[in-house]
Amino acid sequence: MSKICSVCGKKPVAGRTIVRRGLAKKKGGVGQKITGITARRFLPNLKTVRAIVDGTPQRIRVCVKCLKAGKVKKAI
């Protein structure tokens, strides 16, 4: 199953982690230097829930933001 929200279509986005060393100038140092940049993915916070889809209960993957907003009608 893909990591995509069934309601809003939220999906993973690409980003970077930046590793720095040294003391910041405003803390009395000579400044920070970047020592490494690594690619990473920011994943959406998905939960599998039983929801009513087209009148029938189905298991769908929904992001927590949609659950909190009440965009999903849960099956009982």
Tokens read off for 35: 């020592």
CA atoms within 13 A on the CB side of 65: 10
pLDDT at position 20: 97
1 has a pLDDT exceeding 90: no
pLDDT at position 65: 96
Residue with tokens 């929801």: 51
pTM as predicted: 0.76
Other beta carbons within 10 Å of 62: 22
Q: Which of 72, 54, 42, 59 is nearest to 1 (CA)?
A: 59
Q: Where do the structural domains in the chain lie, given as residue ranges?
A: 13-69
Q: Could you report the per-residue pLDDT of 35-48, keeping only the tens digit for each?
A: 999 999 999 999 99
